[in-house]
Amino acid sequence: MNEQMEASEENILHTYNRFPVVFDRGEGCYLYDTEGIKYLDFAAGIAVNALGYHYPGYDDALKAQIDKLTHISNLYYNQPMSEAGEKLVKASGMSKAFFTNSGTEAIEGALKAARKYAYTKSGQADRHEIIAMNHSFHGRSMGALSVTGTAHYREPFEPLVGGVKFADFNDLDSVKALVTDKTCAIITEVVQGEGGIYPADPAFLKGLRELCDARDIILIFDEVQCGMGRTGFYFAWQSYGVQPDIMACAKALGSGVPVGAFVLGEKAAAASLVPGDHGTTYGGNPFVCAAVSKVFDIFEQDRILDHVKELTPYFEKKLDELAAKYDCVSARRGKGFMQGLVITGRPVGDVVKKALEEGLLVISAGSDVLRLVPPLIIKKEHIDEMVDILSDCLE
């Protein structure tokens, strides 16, 4: 263990079992450790670094904003927040945005907005129940944890926020069976991430939309991981043609700076949060919003979404070939640049560790899925390099 690792173990609360590597810098789709060893990055900071490292223009936008202003609070207007908000609303086709510091906080805001909508419409506090999905993951704070459908995440911290029921992802009947006159919201990921890279069935999302319309229930989509281009659309729900009432996003939204947002459609925006209901000191500060604004500019100017759509078939083809070649890979599933290989016969963690030793960064999802969420700027040669390294790890 080197000096930096020892210092971290000495001073940082041990809530992560970190891999034995200290990264020093990045360039394009590669990271370099403190010893100068090069790694191909197919983890992207857990689906955050959509533009890789030092994408042309990105660093310059942040440096320019640092020279101007980084923080003033939400008591005043600032230009980057106005610009970022306009671009986010346009990209989503929704109505109002609220910037947060993380995906977890975006989920918290979405849940509060849903409950406030129900309270505003009914005038009663008893319409508070939320239906979430089994095997979902929405964050670590108490509210987000309450709607996370994996027991081992929740149990050490119970009692959590009450009124939450869990249905089965992609099983519309299981959702309908839980709906009552007290239901105020249904929340789901469009592609389950931590639960094992499961895309939603089109009929499931459409059924949720119809159910929520019929019962005046707020539909919340968690796009924290699958959003911002990862599926070839700004937001994964756009490929289904099913718009939520509230959407949470983060991760690639700032492509490296800590920023998230929840975005409301017209119905939710008109009858939910008002001054005094919600706030944040750091959310929407000029620095992170300058990053968000620049990310949207780059996506548009350099056709990032088109690139993901064009390269996805090749990416899937090469992963399917791995699944066909190796007995320990039983399936591939995913959408766009959010893919998973189901590993059998050995711990998926062993494959992740072996890949790191061979110069490839991948991560796991669930108990048996190898997750590949590379920067959205990868090219065929990066996919080929990944396959070559991963083939050695699967032997």
276 and 133 Cβ atoms separated by less than 8 Å: no
29 and 374 Cβ atoms separated by less than 8 Å: yes
Active site residue: 98, 99, 137, 233, which one?
137
Residues in the chain: 395
Active site residue: 222, 294, 296, 337, which one?
222
221 among known catalytic residues: no
Active site residue: 116, 251, 335, 354, which one?
251
67 among known catalytic residues: no
251 among known catalytic residues: yes
Catalytic residues: 137, 222, 251
